[in-house]
């Protein structure tokens, strides 16, 4: 299975979840609501790291965030796979520099 196929399988699974619970009809695809859910998941990921929880717990919280991201692409009707690969191409062209002892890759403006 190639990268696109596995992403399509994930998208199909998330779409089935949305359909099962009628997200579109019941407000589950409203974008500001989804942003709040993603912020909540980021908080849970942060808690995993700062409280030293297991990597299994961290993996589950990261999976929750990924599922929400895929669902947001469904709700907003864009191709997350294409957007991700396009962004990776741009990121690979960027340079990195050390900022406060950590690598930072960005479009630096002096």
* Candidates 2.30.30, 1.10.287, 1.10.150, 1.10.3470; CATH matching 3-79: 1.10.287
Model pLDDT for residues 11-25, shown as the tens digit of each residue: 999 999 999 999 999
> Could you tell me the CA-to-CA distances from 28 to 19, 35, 53, 63, 90 in Å, in that order?
10, 11, 29, 18, 32
Backbone angles phi, psi at 99, to 5 degrees: -130, 115
96 beta partners: 105
Mean pLDDT over each residue of the chain, to the nearest integer: 94
- pLDDT at residue 108 greater than cutoff 90: no
Mean pLDDT of all residues in 49-70 = 97
- pLDDT at residue 2 greater than cutoff 80: no
Confidence category of residue 5, pLDDT binned at 50, 70, 90: confident
Sign of CA dihedral 45, 7, 71, 75: positive
């Amino acid at each position: 299975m190639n990268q696109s196929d596995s992403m399509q399988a994930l998208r199909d699974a998330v779409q089935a979840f949305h359909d099962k619970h009628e997200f579109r009809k019941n407000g589950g695809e409203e974008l500001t609501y989804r942003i709040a859910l993603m912020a909540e998941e980021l908080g849970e990921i942060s808690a995993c790291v700062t409280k030293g929880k297991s990597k299994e717990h961290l993996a589950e919280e990261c999976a929750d965030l990924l599922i929400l991201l895929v669902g947001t692409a469904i709700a907003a009707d864009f191709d997350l796979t294409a957007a991700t690969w396009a962004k990776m191409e741009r990121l690979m062209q960027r340079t990195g520099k050390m900022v406060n002892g950590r690598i930072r890759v960005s479009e630096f403006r002096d």
